[in-house]
Amino acid sequence: MSQRINEKLSILADAAKYDVSCASSGSYRKNTKDGLGNSQGMGICHTYTQDGRCVSLLKILLTNYCIFDCAYCVSRQSNDVKRAAFTVQEVVDLTINFYKRNYIEGLFLSSGIFKNADYTMERLVRIAKKLRTEHKFNGYIHLKAIPGADDELIHQAGLYADRLSVNLEIPSEKSLKKVAPEKDYPSAYRPMNFLAKSITGYREEKKTLRSTPTFAPGGQSTQLVVGATPEKDYHILHLANSLYQQQQLRRVYYSGYVPISDDQRLPVLHSPPLIRENRLYQADWLLRSYGFSVDELVDTQHPDLDQEVDPKLGYALRNPEQFPVDVNTAPYELILRIPGIGVKSAQKIVQARQFGKLRSEHLQKIGIVWKRARYFLTTVDPDFRWLGFHPEHLRQRILSEQTRPKYSPQLSLFG
Amino acid sequence: MVYTYDGSFDGLLSVIFESYRLKTSAEEIVEESCFQPGLFGKPTFVSTNQVHSKRVKQGVRKRCGEQTTETLYHVFLSEQPQIEMLIYRFVRLAVASTENVMSNFREPIVLKIHRIQKQIHREVHRMHAFVRFQQTKDNLYAALVNPDFNVLPLLPPHFTQRYPMFRWLIYDTKRNYGLYYEPASDSKESQSPSIRFVTLDSSSPQHLSPQLLTDAEQDYQSLWQTYFHSVNIPERRNDKLHIQHVPRRYWKYLVEKQDNH
């Protein structure tokens, strides 16, 4: 039996790997005394792929048979690939046994559309239900909400899963229509809006009635493919921002298009646009945790993020009048905007300055990226900035100082 | 004054208490079994006193909050050279101050405490991630580990909450002791789950012999290797980043790193 499962696993994990979401964070589910597993909010990466991506969940397709023919997708109907399908029990066994060995935080289950949306969604739900009820599994479950599936099925999915996601994939409806003739935006937004409403509804109810069941406590996420269609970063970030605001998504993932397809409808790329993908993640981070607005990061004059410098540095260089910031007096929000200072360092600075004035030596020991930050801040030390603050000079200087190759394929997100 | 103690955390805090009582500052605090005569003057041995240790904890707690005593314990488990003196200096600093010195990020001692604590937390987190249980024929889920710091004492909350229903063992092959968990059973007198430290009689095992394992175990290991192999995207290959996240010294006990794909 093992060999057959082995083959299925290699096909169906391979087919699921272009979905970049892997988070097991943001949900809190306690274990029961006789149960298996829990999820604790922060998430754990149990290993990392050869390309440095986090492996947290068993991420597989239930099947890669699909009635759709989306140009960007390996599992599209017209593509000549090996097909396979797991049974419900096989997915359950794999999840439980991997989890018991501490390989994974839980299951990420997606699927090609076989027969129709309801039929597919019903099976995804059945697996989650079996894990939760028969196996008392309290680890993390991420399910795809299949566009076009009945509201009641999506609702049930929310009762068993920690997180649900509907992938928009292509960042504009016009482009989507070109590459995925069977898809459109309204059918993707419909389950998203339904979920947004249910999540808020259940959360409100839980405040007054504690026995209210949890409903997708990890919220919902989506994925946008970058570089397969002509949208600018301006467009992508505005779309992401509206998804955060309107649908209250927890995360938007950006997937640099990996040229897997020789489909005529898509551009020919030599390698995935990894730097652009990384800049988008950095910008996304600034939106969610650093109090930046989209308009501060991209505008019609600069519709794409600067590939050479990260978006926070880019913002500082475009807005020289806002700097330098005095770390001894400025509010936290402004300190957070200094390139080279992250959330943790900013908090430390605000705490430490209550004990006395900060000098540059203190800042260096606190762990800020001094090489970067020094141009944008002042301390009680005399200021020897002989260069003055001319953005173009500064830009050249910082770029020439970067010791590491600027274009290492995948940069750290939090650097 | 040079002090020696029994190597326990409470022992160290007893030394700190003693230094206050004698109004003499410590120049050196060394675990008794590690003390080398002649290197320093004649040492004063302080035996562990729970009451004294508790008093020191209370003093720290009063100034710096509940968490800080825990932080000091974590820092102690780092086994770094001179860790005793760092903790000693921190306690003196904390007790002498009217404010919570933990947020004084201008102070080198405080920064060092934070830095070591961060290292410990990272190691604990890595254990949460990298422990790989193997199912033995007598239905024990056993894992071998080799952590940089002595973090086994910090693992029970995570693993007992997660795996309350079967027997498991996490064994530190470097320090030759393990953490053994047993769920409550109706047949035995123990009605509640038990967790304890154990040391195997034989010399520390470096690998679990395949004869000990169930057939299913081999299957699942091979399935996991298949999975690890299949999720890779060759176009995105980045070995540097991979090794940064999964340093080589952990590979020895990672199932996915043993295969011949």
Q: Is B232 on the interface with A (CB under 8 A)?
A: yes
Considering only residues A24 and A75, tell me which one the structure prediction assigns the higher pLDDT: A75
Tell me which residue in A2, A10, A355 faces B104 most closely, judged by beta carbons: A355
The residue among A142, A119, A129 whose CA lies nearest residue A16 is A142
Packing angle, helices B108-130 and B83-96, rounded to 10: 120
Q: Is B164 on the interface with A (CB under 8 A)?
A: yes
Q: Is B236 on the interface with A (CB under 8 A)?
A: yes
Distance separating alpha carbons of residues A333 and B81, to the nearest angstrom: 39
Q: Please check whether residue A171 is in contact with residue A224, taking contact to mean a CB–CB distance below 8 angstroms.
A: yes
Phi, psi of B20 (to 5 degrees): -70, -45
Q: Is B259 on the interface with A (CB under 8 A)?
A: no
Record: contact A49-B223, CB cut-off 8 A: no
Over 80: is that where the pLDDT of A400 sits?
Answer: yes
Interface test with A, best of B122, B160, B169, B245 (most A CBs within 10 A): B245
Pairing of strands B134-135, B141-145: antiparallel
Q: Indicate the pTM of the whole model.
A: 0.90
Q: Please check whether residue A280 is in contact with residue A294, taking contact to mean a CB–CB distance below 8 angstroms.
A: no
**pLDDT tens by residue, A337-396:** 999 999 999 999 999 999 999 999 999 999 899 989 988 999 988 776 645 668 888 888
Phi, psi of B108 (to 5 degrees): -55, -40
Q: Is B134 on the interface with A (CB under 8 A)?
A: yes
**How does residue A414 score in pLDDT terms, banded at 50, 70 and 90?**
very low
Distance separating alpha carbons of residues B252 and A318, to the nearest angstrom: 49
Task: Give the C-alpha distances (Å, rounded to integers) separating B223 from A189, A211, A297, A400, B229.
Answer: 36, 39, 44, 47, 10
Phi, psi of A61 (to 5 degrees): -95, 145
Distance separating alpha carbons of residues A158 and A141, to the nearest angstrom: 10
Which residue do the tokens 């422990």 mark?
B131
Compute the average pLDDT of residues A111-132: 96
Q: Please check whether residue A60 is in contact with residue A109, taking contact to mean a CB–CB distance below 8 angstroms.
A: yes
Over 80: is that where the pLDDT of A22 sits?
Answer: no
Closest Cα of chain B to A384: distance in Å? 22
Q: B183 exposed, middle or buried (CB, 10 Å; 0-12, 13-18, 19+)?
A: middle
Record: contact B161-A31, CB cut-off 8 A: yes
Q: Please check whether residue A413 is in contact with residue A278, taking contact to mean a CB–CB distance below 8 angstroms.
A: yes
Q: Please check whether residue A376 is in contact with residue A325, taking contact to mean a CB–CB distance below 8 angstroms.
A: yes
Q: Please check whether residue A372 is in contact with residue A398, taking contact to mean a CB–CB distance below 8 angstroms.
A: yes
Give the pLDDT confidence score for residue A415 in this predicted structure.
38
> What sign does the CA torsion over A337, A340, A343, A347 have?
negative
**How does residue A398 score in pLDDT terms, banded at 50, 70 and 90?**
confident
Record: contact B133-A18, CB cut-off 8 A: no
Closest Cα of chain A to B5: distance in Å? 33
Task: Give the C-alpha distances (Å, rounded to integers) separating A37 from A279, B167, B178.
Answer: 35, 14, 21
Helices (H) and strands (E) in chain B, counts: 8, 8
**How does residue A331 score in pLDDT terms, banded at 50, 70 and 90?**
very high
Closest Cα of chain A to B251: distance in Å? 10
**Pairs of residues, one from chain A and one from chain B, whose beta carbons lie less than 8 Å apart:** 164
pLDDT-above-90 percentage for chain A: 70
Whole-number mean pLDDT of chain B?
91
Q: Is B237 on the interface with A (CB under 8 A)?
A: yes
Over 50: is that where the pLDDT of B204 sits?
Answer: yes
Distance separating alpha carbons of residues A44 and A25, to the nearest angstrom: 8
**pLDDT tens by residue, A235-260:** 999 999 999 999 999 999 999 888 77
Record: contact B224-A366, CB cut-off 8 A: no
In A257-403, DSSP assigns E strands to 325-326, 377-378
**pLDDT tens by residue, A161-184:** 999 999 999 999 999 999 998 899
Task: Give the C-alpha distances (Å, rounded to integers) separating B55 from B24, B98, B109.
Answer: 18, 18, 22
Alpha helices in chain B (DSSP H): 9-21, 50-64, 66-76, 83-96, 108-130, 156-162, 215-230, 239-245
Record: contact B233-A58, CB cut-off 8 A: no
Tell me which residue in B129, B223, B233 faces A46 most closely, judged by beta carbons: B129
Q: Which two tokens stand for residue A15?
A: 């087919």
SS3 category, A321: helix
Record: contact A13-B242, CB cut-off 8 A: no
**pLDDT tens by residue, A275-307:** 999 999 999 999 999 999 999 999 999 899 999
Tell me which residue in B163, B216, B242 faces A50 most closely, judged by beta carbons: B242
